[in-house]
Amino acid sequence: MSGTHGTTKTAGPAVGLNPTEQPEVAGSSGGGPQIEAVRRRVRELLPAAAVITDHARLRTYECDGLAHYRVTPALVVLADSADHIAAVVRICAEEKVPFVARGSGTGLSGGALPRADGVLVVTSRMRDIREVAPLDQRAVVEPGVINLDVTRAADPYGYYYAPDPSSQQICSIGGNVAENSGGAHCLKYGFTANHVTGVEFVTPDGSVVELGGRAPDSPGYDLLGTVIGSEGTLGIATAVTVRLTRKPEDVVTVLAGFPSTDDAGAATSAIIGAGVLPAAIEMMDALAIEAAEAAVHCDYPDGAGAVLVIELDGPAVEVRQEFDEVERLCRDNGAFEFRVAKDDTERALIWRGRKSAFAAVGRISPDYIVQDGVIPRTSLPAVLRAISEMSASSGVRVANVFHAGDGNLHPLVLFDESKAGQAEAAEEISGKILDLCIEAGGSITGEHGVGMDKSAYMPRMFSEDDLDTMQMVRCAFDPDNIANPGKIFPTPRLCGEVPGRHKGEHPLARAGIAEIF
Amino acid sequence: MAVDALLSAGQSLAAACDDVREATDTDAVDGVHPRFSARPGSTAEAAGVLRAAAEHELAVVTRGAGTKLTWGTPPERADLVLDLTRMDAVLDHAAGDLVAVAQAGCPIESLQRTLASAGQRLAIDETLPGTTLGGGIATNSSGPRRMLNGTFRDLMIGTTVVRADGVIAKSGGRVVKNVAGYDLGKLMTGSFGTLGVVVEAVFRLHPLPADVSVLVAQARDTGEVAAMVRAVLHSEIVATAIEVDWAVTGGGEIGVLLEGTVDGVAARTTTARALLAGAGAPDIQVADQPPAWWGRYPTGTLLKLTCALSAVDHLLREAARLGVSVRGSAGSGVLYGGLPADADVPDTVTALRGVCVAAGGSLVVLDAPTAVKSTVDTWGPVAALELMRAVKQQFDPHRRLSPGRFVGGI
C-alpha cells in the first residue's frame, strides 16, 4: 500500500517560470571571504570524501525534486554523523554563512534548493536504523534512512511506519521531518508530526538538543511539534525516534468508476458523512485516467469520468462492515463499476494507475505544473467545476489527481514550453487554482511544503501579523537567519536587538504598592 | 500615586472590555491575588485587554473554568486575570468536513453536545468536569483516548492567538491537511499560558462510534499487567484505550475500550477477552460503560508520569513501592500518580522521577498544596531549556504572561 504523487522525475519544470525572479538565491558566485573561510575550516575538520568543492560535482546538487529552480551551492558536505553536522553548522554560524539541509532531494517545493553563498548539508549517508523496539512501538533512525526502510525493518515484528509519501521508496526520514510529510494514508493515520516522538536536533548555532523522546509529552514547550514541518529553517534533525503502528488485520482495496468527478466527489462526501474513515480515498479524473492507461495499462473502467481508489483497513470484521457501506454509497452515487482487489497483485494493479499518474501525465504533455492546494472536502464539486471551467475557457488542459478524502488537490496544469504563451497561461491558471483553494477556506500546500516555490503565496493565506508571529519562532532559533534562508517566508523578519528582560521599575511598584502583587 | 496608577490601568482595561472588575479572593491563582479581572466577549476585546495590559505592564494570567489553575508552579505575580468564560461559543461545525471551530472558553462538554447532534465528536476526554478547550490546550491535558487519537496537539488544526502585545495571529487553518507555515498551535499547546492567549481553535473531528464496549480485568501483580497490556496492544483489534488502575498495595485493574460498528465491537470484544484470559486474567467483566475510576486523576498530590511502553509495569511496581497509586494510559505510557497528604513528597518525587527518566520519560508534579509545591522540583530536568527561554523572550519579552508558572521559571 502506498500513496501517490510526485517523484524526482515528475516535478513540473516550469513552476514560477522565470529564473530571474530569484536574485537572492542566484546572485552570488560563492566566492566571498566568509564562504572561503568555511570551505577551509570544513576541509580541515572533515575527511576529504565528505566535502565536495569541485564545480561539476557541486552542480549535481543544484536542485531538489522541483527541477525548475537551480542554484549551485558553494560547498557540499556529505555528513556521516551528528558531530559532522553540528561542527559544520557551528562553523557556518561563526562565519555567518547560510546552510541548507538536504536528504534524498525529492521535495517538490524547492525546500532543499541550495544557496550559492552557502553550504548544502546532505544527510543521505546517515542511513543507520539504530534500533527497532517493537515493545515500545518505536524505532530510532538516522535522518538519511529511507522512509520505506523503516517499514521494512519493523515488518518482521508486525509493525510499520504509517506516513507514506508516494516517494517513500527514495525519500528520507530527515526530509519527512522537515516537510511534515503525509501520503495517501494520512487521511486515517495522520502526518509525520503525529508519528515522530523525538529528534536529536542541531540548532542554527551548532548546538545539539534533544526534543521529545521515547515517551510522549516531554515537559516544556512542544519544540518537537514546532520543528517538524519547519522546512529546515530551524535546524537539522540528526536522529529521529518514530512511532511504529501495528499492521492491520485486513486491507481491502476498491476501484470504483463514476460518470463524472461530481459523482465521485458526492460518493466521497457520503462515505465520510456516514462515519466511515477509510485509510485512503484517491480520485483521478478522465484526463489523468487516460494518461495512466496509456502509460501503465492499469485497466481502469472504460468511459469513466472519474475513478476512486478506496482502501479500508483495520480489524477484519470492521473492514467488512465498512466495505458494505462503501459499496452501497458508491453505487447510490452513480458508480457503474465497483472492483475489489482479490489479492496483492490486483491491489498493486489498482494502485499502479494512481501512483503512476504524475509520470504518465509527462507522456501526454511535454511540461506541466503540479499544485498541492487543499480545500474543505465539501467544496470538492464546486472547486473541480471551477477548475474545469477555467480550463475550458483558457484552453489550458488540467488533469486532476488527488487525495479526495482530505481535499488535497494535485491539479496537473499541462503546457508546452516551446509554444509561445503557453507557459504563462499555465502559470496563470495554476495561481488561480491556489486562489480558489484559499477562497474555499483551504491551504496553498497540503504536503509538498512552501519552500521556495510558494513563499510568494503565503501573504494570500496569512496576514502580515500571522507571518510576523511565526517568524518570532524563527528569531528564537535562528536570529542570524542562516538556516535555509529565503524559504517559507516571503519577507524575512529582522530579529533585531534582544530586548531587556524588564524595562525599569514596574509602574505599580513605583507607585509604592508592588508588595500586593 | 498608587491610586492614580491603578485607576489608570483600570480605566484602560474598562475602555477595552465591558466586563472588567476588581478581583476578589475567588480570582486568586494558586495563592496569588490579582488586582483586576477582565472577561472579554470577543477576540477583539481580548486583544484590547492585552494591549491595555501591555501599556500598563500588567502581569496576566489567563483562565477558563479554573479547573487547573493550581497546576504547575504558582505565578510570580498576577495583576490581571483574563477570564475567557464569556468566549464560550461553538463558532462553526462543518459536519461534512469533520471540522469544528470554537472559542477557547467553550467547555469541552458543551462542544461535544453540539457535535453529537451530528454524530461526531472531538476525540479528547474531559479529565476534569467543566474543563474548557482553552484550559485543555494550555495544559495539553489528555485522557484514555489519547492512545488511539492523540491529544490536543494532534487534533487542533488551526489556532488564533492573541500575543502579549495584543496582536492577533493565526496559524494552520480549517483543513486537516496543511503544511503552510509554522504550526504555532503545537507551540501553544501545553505552554500554560506563558506565550500567548489562545482565543479560538479549529479541530479535526471523528465520527461517534456506533457501539462501545469496555473489558475490565483484575491483575494481581505487575507481571500480569505487562502480559495483558502487551497482548491487547500488540494484537490487531485496535483498542481505543488501555488503562490501568494500580493501588499502592500492588494490585489493580486493566481496562480496555473498544469502539466501532456493532458487529465489529462484538467480535473484537470476544477476541480481547481471549487475549486477556490468555495473558492470565482470572476474571474479566464486560460492560458498555467504563468503571468509575476510568479517566479520573488519582487523589492527593498529582504527578504526571511518562515512560517507554515496555517500562509501564516497572513504573507501577516502583510507584507502589514508594507509596504512589497510579492510574492512566498503559497503552501510551502516560500515567498519573497520587500521593497521600502524609507522604514525604520531595523524596518520593526524586526517587520516582529517577525511574521515569531512566525509562525514557519524565515526572511532573502537576498539582499539590502550595506548602508541598515549595518543597519540590515541579518540572524536573528539561531538555532544550535555553531554546525554550529564547522562544519565551520573543513572544513575551517582558515576562508578563503567567510569569513563573512554567519550566525553568519561564
Residue A29, domain CATH: 3.30.43.10
A383 touches chain B (CB under 8 A): no
C-alpha cell at position B115 = 457535535
All residue ranges of chain B with pLDDT < 50 are: 1
Residue of A220, A406, A503 with shortest CB distance to B382: A220
Chain B residues touching residue A267 (CB < 8 angstroms): none
B102 touches chain A (CB under 8 A): no
Whether residue A269 is found in the same domain as residue A331: yes
Grade residue A509 by pLDDT with cuts at 50, 70 and 90: very low
In a domain, A437, yes or no: yes
Q: Count of domains in chain A? A: 5
The pLDDT assigned to A67 comes to: 87
Grade residue A166 by pLDDT with cuts at 50, 70 and 90: confident
Residue A340, domain CATH: 3.30.70.2190
Mean pLDDT of A404-431: 93
| Residues in CB range of A59: below 8 A, 6 or more apart | A72
* Binary contact (B207, A277; C-beta < 8 A): yes
In a domain, A517, yes or no: no
Question: Where does a domain end: A66, A94, A122?
Answer: A122
Phi and psi angles of residue B355, each rounded to the nearest 5 degrees, phi first:
-65, -45
* Binary contact (B179, A513; C-beta < 8 A): no
Average pLDDT, whole number, for chain A? 90
Residue of A215, A246, A249 with shortest CB distance to B360: A215
Residue A155, domain CATH: 3.30.465.10
Distance separating alpha carbons of residues B205 and B407, to the nearest angstrom: 31
Alpha helices in A55-117 (DSSP H): 55-59, 82-95
Mean pLDDT of A305-325: 97
Chain B residues touching residue A185 (CB < 8 angstroms): none
Inform me whether the pLDDT recorded for A113 exceeds 60.
yes
- Spatial strand order of the sheet with A398-403 comes to A337-340, A250-258, A306-314, A280-285, A398-403, A408-415, A367-370
The pLDDT assigned to A31 comes to: 64
Question: Where does a domain end: A220, A246, A272?
Answer: A246
Q: Which of A132, A42, A112, A126 is nearest to A79 (CA)?
A: A126
The pLDDT assigned to B263 comes to: 96
Distance separating alpha carbons of residues A40 and A205, to the nearest angstrom: 19
A480 touches chain B (CB under 8 A): no
* Binary contact (B6, A137; C-beta < 8 A): no
Residue located via cell numbers 474545469: A388
Residue A421, domain CATH: 3.30.70.2740
Inform me whether the pLDDT recorded for A27 exceeds 50.
no
Assess contact for B120 and B137: CB atoms under 8 A.
no
Inform me whether the pLDDT recorded for A517 exceeds 60.
no
The pLDDT assigned to A30 comes to: 52
Distance separating alpha carbons of residues A57 and A48, to the nearest angstrom: 14
Whether residue A450 is found in the same domain as residue A467: no
Which range among A7-16, A149-158, A193-202, A286-295 shows the weakest confidence by mean pLDDT?
Answer: A7-16
Question: Where does a domain end: A74, A107, A122?
Answer: A122
C-alpha cell at position A277 = 474513515
Query: Which of helix, strand or coil describes residue B194?
Result: coil
* Binary contact (B387, A246; C-beta < 8 A): no
Which residues of A297-447 form beta strands (DSSP E)?
Answer: 306-314, 337-340, 367-370, 398-403, 408-415
Inform me whether the pLDDT recorded for A10 exceeds 90.
no
The pLDDT assigned to A497 comes to: 53
Residue of B151, B171, B379 with shortest CB distance to A219: B379
A199 touches chain B (CB under 8 A): no
Q: In this complex, how many residue pairs, one in chain A and one in chain B, have their CB atoms less than 8 Å apart?
A: 314
* Binary contact (B94, A375; C-beta < 8 A): no
Half-sphere exposure of A206 (CA within 13 A, CB side): 15
C-alpha cell at position B87 = 468566549
Whether residue A427 is found in the same domain as residue A415: yes
DSSP bridge pairs for A257: A307, A337
The pLDDT assigned to B257 comes to: 98
Query: Which of helix, strand or coil describes residue A174?
Result: helix
C-alpha cell at position B408 = 525553568
Å between B344 CA and nearest CA of chain A: 23
Q: Which of A484, A433, A485 is nearest to A460 (CA)?
A: A433
In a domain, A313, yes or no: yes
Which range among A347-351, A440-444, B9-13, B191-195 shows the weakest confidence by mean pLDDT?
Answer: A347-351
More confident residue, B146 or A269: B146
Which residues of B266-408 form beta strands (DSSP E)?
Answer: 284-287, 301-306, 325-329, 334-339, 363-367
Task: Write down the ipTM of this complex.
Answer: 0.97
Whether residue A224 is found in the same domain as residue A302: no
C-alpha cell at position A74 = 558553494
The pLDDT assigned to A68 comes to: 85
Inform me whether the pLDDT recorded for A505 exceeds 70.
no
The pLDDT assigned to A508 comes to: 46
For A210-264, the pLDDT digits (tens) are 999 999 999 999 999 999 999 999 999 999 999 999 999 999 999 999 999 999 9
Whether residue A103 is found in the same domain as residue A147: no
Whether residue A144 is found in the same domain as residue A235: yes
Q: Tell how many helices (H) and how many strands (E) occur in chain A.
A: 18, 18
In a domain, A285, yes or no: yes
Chain A residues touching residue B150 (CB < 8 angstroms): 190, 194
The pLDDT assigned to A32 comes to: 84
Distance separating alpha carbons of residues A333 and A465, to the nearest angstrom: 44
Return the number of other C-beta atoms located less than 10 Å from residue A451's C-beta. 26
For B230-280, the pLDDT digits (tens) are 999 999 999 999 999 999 998 999 999 999 999 999 999 999 999 999 999
Start-to-end CA span in chain B (Å): 31
Phi and psi angles of residue B105, each rounded to the nearest 5 degrees, phi first:
-80, 0
DSSP state, residue A462:
S
Distance separating alpha carbons of residues A40 and B159, to the nearest angstrom: 46
Assess contact for A58 and A100: CB atoms under 8 A.
no
* Binary contact (A182, B95; C-beta < 8 A): no
* Binary contact (A462, B180; C-beta < 8 A): yes
* Binary contact (A215, B181; C-beta < 8 A): no
In a domain, A339, yes or no: yes
Mean pLDDT of A434-446: 96
Residue located via cell numbers 495483558: B228
Distance separating alpha carbons of residues B378 and B366, to the nearest angstrom: 7
The pLDDT assigned to A288 comes to: 94
Start-to-end CA span in chain A (Å): 60
Q: Tell how many helices (H) and how many strands (E) occur in chain B.
A: 13, 19
Angle made by CA atoms A278, A282, A283, in degrees to the nearest 5: 140
Distance separating alpha carbons of residues B112 and B356, to the nearest angstrom: 34
Whether residue A468 is found in the same domain as residue A431: no
Q: Which of B246, B264, B247 is nearest to B255 (CA)?
A: B246
Q: Please name the helix (run of DSSP H) or strand (run of DSSP E) that holds residue B207, with its range, or none.
A: strand B206-207
What does B59-108 look like in DSSP terms, one character per residue? Answer: -EEEESS-TTTTBSSPPS--SEEEE-TT---EEEEEGGGTEEEEETTSBH
Whether residue A160 is found in the same domain as residue A196: yes
In a domain, A164, yes or no: yes
A residues 54-73 lying closer than 8 A (beta carbon) to B = none
Dihedral angle at the C-alpha atoms of A389, A391, A392, A394, nearest 10 degrees? 120
> Distance from CA of residue A71 to its chain's centroid?
21
What does A107-146 look like in DSSP terms, one character per residue? Answer: -SSSTT---TTSEEEE-TT---EEEEEGGGTEEEE-TTSB
* Binary contact (B175, A272; C-beta < 8 A): no
Residue of A216, A378, A477 with shortest CB distance to B306: A216
The pLDDT assigned to A170 comes to: 95
* Binary contact (A215, B361; C-beta < 8 A): yes
In a domain, A419, yes or no: yes
Whether residue A433 is found in the same domain as residue A500: no
Distance separating alpha carbons of residues B280 and B276, to the nearest angstrom: 7
The pLDDT assigned to A355 comes to: 85
B residues 352-371 lying closer than 8 A (beta carbon) to A = 356, 359-362, 364
Inform me whether the pLDDT recorded for A515 exceeds 80.
no
Whether residue A20 is found in the same domain as residue A109: yes
Assess contact for B257 and B232: CB atoms under 8 A.
no
In a domain, A30, yes or no: yes
B residues 26-55 lying closer than 8 A (beta carbon) to A = 33-35
Å between B367 CA and nearest CA of chain A: 15
Residue of B34, B383, B406 with shortest CB distance to A210: B383
C-alpha cell at position B344 = 514525604
For B350-409, the pLDDT digits (tens) are 999 999 999 999 999 999 998 899 999 999 999 999 999 999 999 999 999 999 999 999
Distance separating alpha carbons of residues B118 and B205, to the nearest angstrom: 11
Question: By CA distance, what is A469's nearest residue in B?
Answer: B169
Whether residue A352 is found in the same domain as residue A377: no
For A42-94, the pLDDT digits (tens) are 999 999 999 999 999 999 999 999 988 999 999 999 999 999 999 999 999 99
Inform me whether the pLDDT recorded for A26 exceeds 70.
no
Tell me the pairing of strands B36-38 and B80-83: parallel
Chain B residues touching residue A503 (CB < 8 angstroms): 398
Q: Is the dihedral of CA B101, B102, B103, B108 positive or negative?
A: negative
Residue located via cell numbers 482470572: B282
Inform me whether the pLDDT recorded for A17 exceeds 90.
no
A466 touches chain B (CB under 8 A): yes
Inform me whether the pLDDT recorded for A498 exceeds 80.
no
DSSP state, residue A378:
G
Range of the domain at A495: 462-510
Whether residue A226 is found in the same domain as residue A254: no
Which residues of B233-300 form beta strands (DSSP E)?
Answer: 241-246, 252-260, 284-287
Q: Which of B26, B32, B134, B25 is nearest to B405 (CA)?
A: B32
